Amino acid sequence: MYFFKNNHNSIMTAVSAILQARMSSTRFPGKALYPLAGVPLTEHIINRIKAVTDFDHIVLAVPDSPTEIPLIEMAQRLNISIARGPEEDVLERFLIAADQVKAQHIVRICGDNPLIDRQLIRSLIHTHLRENTDYTITSDSIPLGTGTEVVKVKALKNIAETTTEPKYREHVTTWFHDNPTLVSQSHVPAPAYLMNKSHRLTVDTRNDLTLMEKIFNEFYSLASPLLDLEKVIQFLDARPDISQI
């Protein structure tokens, strides 16, 4: 496992986690605060991010809309930063969030993923800063909802200046995948327990939520509120009746 401690004296290593979330999900309104084992989905994500100690800031980036007030209140209760920006122009929302905390690099966290892998986050940050690339991901096949990506803010600003195309403004990092020769990229191996696992661990549909409820009811407790993803994967491997929900 890689551990990378930020040197807070060096502005070049200012790494922030930016969590994009909204109450007005088209397929599943209110999903962001849906309780899993009695705790709102987004709060589970924030607690997982807080357990990764490599961040200067954690920012909740929400649309600039009155519907988001419950999410903002939750972020205030959990003592994390809040950034508001356009609902559809997620790229602009990220840049507002990054500027607000003076981030040089960001880890993009999706509000659909309450089981994001902490070990992989640390590896991505460590490699990204060491190799000083524009964009860092894992190239391994891992369960949907467990991964993330690290991006240099300067590269995001370049995209914002280059394109107004909706798919690049709404899906922040698609541009990197479509233009791989125009940016520097690093690839990080995934932890062995994630590799080539096809479990779906994101929350986009009612079935996804049913699966997530079963997982959290099985593993969550006040004594150990951060689910051990390796044990979750072993559980799903052993219980196809649950994993195939």
pLDDT digits 0-9 by tens, 28-45: 788 999 999 999 999 999
- Tell me the per-residue pLDDT of 150-198, one tens digit each, with 9 for 90 and over: 999 999 999 999 988 989 998 889 999 999 999 999 999 999 999 999 9
The pLDDT of residue 60 is above 90: yes
Count the neighbouring beta carbons within 10 Å of the beta carbon of residue 124: 26
Query: What percent of the chain lies above the pLDDT cut of 90?
Result: 85
The pLDDT of residue 86 is above 60: yes
Beta-carbon contacts of 219 under 8 Å, excluding residues fewer than 6 positions away, are 227, 228, 231, 232, 235
Residue with tokens 């980036």: 61
Mean pLDDT of 51-59: 94
How are beta strands 149-152 and 105-110 bridged, if at all? antiparallel
- Tell me the per-residue pLDDT of 88-132, one tens digit each, with 9 for 90 and over: 899 999 999 999 999 999 999 999 999 999 999 999 999 999 999
The pLDDT of residue 213 is above 60: yes
Q: What is the pTM of this model?
A: 0.92
Q: Which amino acid is at 157?
A: K
Residue 142 CA to residue 165 CA, distance in Å, equals 29
The pLDDT of residue 12 is above 90: no
The pLDDT of residue 63 is above 60: yes
The pLDDT of residue 13 is above 90: no
- Tell me the per-residue pLDDT of 197-206, one tens digit each, with 9 for 90 and over: 999 999 998 8
pLDDT of residue 6: 44
The pLDDT of residue 69 is above 90: yes
Sheet strands (E) in the chain: 15-20, 35-36, 39-40, 57-63, 81-85, 105-110, 135-138, 149-152, 185-188
Tokens of 157: 């600003």
